[in-house]
Structure formats: structure tokens, C-alpha cells
Structure 1
Amino acid sequence: MSLENANVREQTAINLRSMTEEDLGAASGLSKVLGWPHRLEDWDFMLRLGRGLVATLESGEIIGTIVWWSFGERHATVGLIIVNGAWQGHGIGTNMLTTVRRLLPGRSISLNATPAGQPLYEKLGFVPTGIVEQHQGNGVSSPIIALDAGQRLRPVVQYDLQDLIAFDSAATGMDRSALIEELVQNAKGVVIDTEEGIRGYSFCRRFGWGWLIGPVAAETAEQAKALISHWIGTYGGEFIRIDTPTSSALSGWLDEMGLIRVDVVNTMSTEPVVISENAPQYFALTSQALG
């Protein structure tokens, strides 16, 4: 960059405003430049469940995005933090995230950080709390995972909504009622059902280049494998993605299923979310952005 161009950029006013549906085309374009798989429909899904900001030039050109999701009164997640490469180093990412933090007073805020973004998040008070492994591929193996006696796998129905919200809240420590309601209405889902109630759930929906499995929560790893294997069997041969915390210990099994680990990101938080000792385990994210 020439000194003249650098001076012009230093003098250019950069504004923040609320993201609207009309901004999604430009936002999708920014993510495509990064090689992210998000379709316009995926951006629409994210914004429908949360709120966003865009950073704009005086001309109206969008050069930055950030989206966040409030889960109850105590928690939130942040994602889709993008700054146009030509405008990085001008404090835009810092300004967007600082603004969002002011809009979420008193909440613990979590995000999943790429290596490039982690130094910024550390400066703003986020600390690493875990690792997420991205697995993807054309699932080639989906063995039938036997469930314990009295447990059966069945499709999600509207009647399950309140039980799913309660199970998800126990597994994540957050009130994600609106997210679970959206998934029940617009994604495919299965539960592990018993006479005593639901003991696990998983959802699958269109995302990016194919299908995304998640979220997944269950009481045991074998239950989680049964829930995930169902979708691999359903969409085997098509592109499938799943993002799992390393604490799930599913990485090796997913590799064997044909969903190979291709990337890792660090989960970071301003304050760790507290999970009850005997709570169900969270085995796969809704997405890296949503958590």
C-alpha cells in the first residue's frame, strides 16, 4: 500500500450500524472471500436468531460484520466477525466487538476463535476454555449403534419442544429456547426416547456445501454416536460437516466414519459457562458461530 493510500484510509470515516436483511448479500460476499462455506440462506438463518452490526464506509460499502445471539439474561455467543482484508489493522474488529460487549452488559460472552482472531479476543478479555474440531467429508460408514434396553430413536415432533429446551439448557448451561424452537420447525431432528423422557437429541440441516449435523446432546458417548450415525446413514455419500468439542472424545470415531478432522478453533469466553455435574454432555455445536 502506498503512503498516499494509507493516509486516505486513515481519514476515511467508518461507521457501525445494525445489520439488516438487505445487508446479507454483501455479508455473504465477505465470507466467501475468506473461503467460508456460508450460503445466503445460512446468513439469513443466523441473523433471524440474533442481531448484527455492519461496518460501512461513507459510500455505504460494507467492510465488516459481527453477529451475536443472546441466550437468556446471562449468556451470549458472538460470531461471523469479518473485516475486509484491505481494511484490517484499522481497529474495526476491536470497535465492533467492544460495541457488542457494551450491548450485552452482565452476560458471559463466548466465541470460537480462528488463530488470526485470537490475539484480538485475548486483548479484549476473552480466555480460552476449550477446543472445537471441525470434521467433514462424504460419510462412508454408518454402523448401527445399539441403544440400551428401553431406549429408541425416533423423529422430533412439535410436542417435544419444551422437553428439548430443558435438555439443551442442562447440556449447555444456557437458555436457547428460540434456537431450539427454530430447529424443531425448520431442521430435521431425532431424539432418544424412553418411558422417563428424552435422553438425547440431534439435528441436521442444510448448510454450506451440504449437510451440518448439530447440535447434538446426550447422556453418553454411545448415545451420541447413535444420534450422529443416523444422519451419516441418511446422507451418506453427500457432504456432511460436524463441529465437536474435544471433550466429546469423538474425533477418532468420526475419522473412521469418513468425516475427517480438517481444522480446529479455540473456544473463548469472558466467563466460563457453569454446567451441572450430572448434566447431559454437549457433543456437537449448532455451528461454530452459534456454539
Structure 2
Amino acid sequence: MEIRTLGSADLPACADLAESRSWPREPPKWALLHDVGQVFGVDAPDGPGLAACAALVSFEAVASISMVLVASRFERRGLGRAITAQALAAAGDRVTWLHASTYGRPLYESMGFVPDGGCQGHVGTFIDDGGPGASPGSLCPTSTRWTGSLRAWTGARCSPSWGRRSWSTAASRSGWTSGT
């Protein structure tokens, strides 16, 4: 099955896949992830919809993978690994965090992800007051660069939280980090 970069017309299929896995549909989140990052998907070979998807958001030297979903009828066929590997490849040399449920823990560990800290999820309406935190990444210093390769997995669907390393990291309630 071919992994492709999804367009805005595919976002309802992303929400459908999320709902099929008992996740919230969250159309605004899917739209935001598409607008600020890349959303990858695999078309379901048995009809309309997606067999799998994942989102990647990159900012300078860091990246975050989230929304890794595989339709239940396609589980255990390597799609989760393949779509996560695609997102990692697209992240390049960036320090990368993966936000995911603990269901994928064996997969993420086999890909070199290890626990890393905790995360806070925030739900509400964003009001752009024009302040220093109004733009994504605007509070992340740009003068410090990570020169090694680091992969991290966070064990909950939640928003990134910044500040564990000297400049940025994302973590979760049962998060993961790796030096791969």
C-alpha cells in the first residue's frame, strides 16, 4: 500500500478514521495539522477512506509526530510502522517526538523510542492576542541547536509542552525518548 501526502480534501477521511478508533473527530485539529505540517495517509484498498494516517509538524530543529492511526481492519500488517517511518524520514535530522497512545508502545520501542517525561493537554479556544506566544514556536529559542539525533515517544494524545532540554521538548504522562 502506497503512503501519500494528504490534501485538504482528505481531512474528512482522517476524522472518519479517528472516529472509527473511538477518538474524537476534531476537524479543526486535522485542518491545523494540515496547514502547519504534513499529513500522510494510506488509502483503504477495500473502498473509500483511509487505512492509516499520521501527522508531522516541523519547526526548525524539532518535529512532532501525532495522530498515528490504523483502521482496525488493517491492524498487524505493518501500516503503523510504515507510516511512522515515513513521518520520521520526512522529519530528517530534526529532534522528533511522537505523541501516541500506549497501544503502540511495542512498535515505538522497536523503532528506538523510549519514555520521556509528562505532558499537559489543554482544550479550549485559542485567542490570538498578538503576544509573544501567538505564533507556533515563537517562544522556542533559535540560537540553541541539537546536533545529535534524538527520538521521543509520548504516551498520550496531547499538546506539546516546551522546555525539558535547554530549549524545547515535548513529553507526556508516560512519555518516551531515544538516542537513535
Q: TM-score, normalised by structure 1?
A: 0.46
Trace 1:65-104 onto structure 2 (pairs within 5 A).
Answer: 65-72=53-60, 74-104=61-91
Cα offsets for 1:112-158 (capped at 9, x unmatched): 2311011111111111111235588xxxxxxxxxxxxxxxxxx8633
SS at match of 1:97: helix
Give the distance between the partners of 2:111 and 2:160, measured in 1 at CA: 28
> Which residue in 1 is equivalent to 2:175?
267
Question: Which residues of structure 1 form unaligned runs of 5+?
Answer: 1-13, 137-154, 175-211, 219-243, 246-263, 273-291
Question: Which residues of structure 2 form unaligned runs of 5+?
Answer: 146-157, 164-169
- Give the total of aligned pairs: 156
Give the distance between the partners of 1:90 and 1:64, measured in 2 at CA: 11
> Which residue in 2 is equivalent to 1:130?
117
Give the distance between the partners of 1:118 and 1:75, measured in 2 at CA: 22
Is the 8 Å Cα contact of residues 113 and 266 (structure 1) preserved in structure 2?
no
Trace 1:121-270 onto structure 2 (pairs within 5 A).
Answer: 121-132=108-119, 157-158=129-130, 160-161=131-132, 168-170=139-141, 265-270=173-178
Higher strand share: 1
Larger RCO of the pair (alpha carbons < 8 Å, separation 6+): 1
SS at match of 1:46: helix
Mark the CA change 1:38 to 1:156 in structure 2 (over 3 Å): closer, same or farther: same
Trace 1:19-58 onto structure 2 (pairs within 5 A).
Answer: 19-58=6-45
SS at match of 1:79: strand
SS at match of 2:174: strand
Deviation at 1:169, TM superposition (A): 0.7
Root-mean-square deviation over aligned CA pairs: 3.4
Deviation at 1:61, TM superposition (A): 3.6
Q: Which has the larger radius of gyration?
A: 1
Identity of aligned residues (%): 19
Higher helix share: 1
> Which residue in 1 is equivalent to 2:154?
none
